[in-house]
C-alpha cells in the first residue's frame, strides 16, 4: 500500500464484499421475534465480530500463510478467483459470502425462534464475512510496508463494523425505502466493482508467478 490509491482499494473491496445492505433482509427475517434489546445486542455483536475477523486476518493472516508454506502470489491468484466467484454471486443479487443451504436456513430460523444468538453464526460468518473477506485482508496486508499502513487496514475493520451496525440498526427504514429491488440493484453494482478488483488481484498474482506475463503486457 505505497500510494494513496492503494490505501483506498482495500476499503472499497471490503465494503463491496461485506455489503451490509444485502444482509438487511436476512437480519429482519431472523430477528422478527426478537425484543428491541435482543435486536440491539445482535447488531452490536455482529458489528464487533466482523471487526474481529478483519483485524485478526490483517495481523495474523501472513503468519498463517508462512506456516503452511503458501506464497503470497499463489494466494493472490486463489483469493482473486474467490473474489471473482463472490462477485458473480452479487451480480445475481446474492450476498457475496452466502453459501447457506435450505437446511441451514431452517436451522437458523429455529435457533432464532428459541431466542439463541444469531449474531456470529450465520450473520457475521458466513453472511457478512468469510473466505473472500479474509483473503482480501491478507492480500492487502502483504502490501503494507509500514506499521501505520497495517493499522489503517485494521481501522478499515472499524469502518466495516460501523457500516454494519448502521445498516442493521436502520434495517426497517432501509427495507421500506429501497425495497428488495433497490437492495438488489445496490448488490449488483457492488458485484461489478468487486469483479474488476478481483481481476486486478489475480493479474498481480499471475504476474509474480509468471514474470514473462509482465513483459507481454
Residue at 90 is within a domain: yes
- Kindly state whether residue 155 falls inside one of the protein's structural domains: yes
Contacts of 118 (CB under 8 A, 6+ apart): 30, 31, 42, 108, 111, 112
Q: Quick one: the chain helix, strand, coil %, rounded to 5?
A: 85, 0, 15
Domain count, the chain: 1
pLDDT of residue 213: 79
Residue 5: partners with Cβ closer than 8 Å, 6 or more residues away? none
Q: Is residue 216 part of a domain?
A: no
Structural domain for 85, as ranges: 4-209
Q: What are phi and psi of 182, to 5 degrees?
A: -65, -40
Chain-centre distance for alpha carbon 176: 24
The x, y and z cell numbers of residue 114, run together, are 428459541
Of residues 113 and 182, the one with the higher pLDDT is: 182
Structural domain contains residue 164: yes
The set of cell numbers assigned to 120 is: 456470529
Report pLDDT digits (tens) over 45-88: 999 999 999 999 999 999 999 999 999 999 999 999 999 999 99
Over the stretch 131-176, which tens digit does the pLDDT of each residue have?
A: 999 999 999 999 998 899 999 999 999 999 999 999 999 999 999 9
In a domain, 217, yes or no: no
Q: Look at residue 59 and tell me if it is in a domain.
A: yes
Residue 82 lies in a domain: yes
Query: Which pTM was predicted?
Result: 0.89
Amino acid at each position: 500500500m505505497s500510494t494513496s490509491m492503494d490505501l483506498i482499494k482495500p476499503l472499497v473491496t471490503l465494503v463491496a464484499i461485506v455489503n451490509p445492505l444485502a444482509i438487511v433482509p436476512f437480519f429482519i427475517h431472523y430477528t422478527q421475534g426478537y425484543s428491541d434489546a435482543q435486536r440491539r445486542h445482535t447488531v452490536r455483536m455482529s458489528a464487533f465480530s466482523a471487526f474481529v475477523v478483519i483485524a485478526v486476518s490483517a495481523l495474523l493472516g501472513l503468519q498463517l500463510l508462512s506456516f503452511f508454506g503458501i506464497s503470497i502470489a499463489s494466494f493472490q491468484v486463489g483469493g482473486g478467483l474467490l473474489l471473482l466467484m463472490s462477485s458473480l454471486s452479487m451480480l445475481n443479487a446474492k450476498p457475496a459470502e452466502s453459501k447457506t443451504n435450505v437446511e441451514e436456513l431452517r436451522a437458523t430460523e429455529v435457533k432464532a425462534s428459541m431466542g439463541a444468538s444469531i449474531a456470529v453464526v450465520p450473520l457475521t460468518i458466513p453472511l457478512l464475512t468469510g473466505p473472500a473477506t479474509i483473503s482480501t485482508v491478507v492480500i492487502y496486508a502483504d502490501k503494507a510496508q509500514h506499521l501505520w499502513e497495517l493499522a489503517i487496514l485494521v481501522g478499515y475493520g472499524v469502518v466495516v463494523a460501523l457500516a454494519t451496525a448502521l445498516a442493521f440498526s436502520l434495517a426497517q427504514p432501509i427495507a421500506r425505502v429501497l425495497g428488495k429491488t433497490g437492495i438488489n440493484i445496490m448488490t449488483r453494482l457492488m458485484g461489478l466493482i468487486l469483479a474488476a478488483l478481483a481481476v486486478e488481484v489475480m493479474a498481480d498474482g499471475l504476474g509474480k508467478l509468471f514474470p514473462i506475463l509482465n513483459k507481454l503486457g
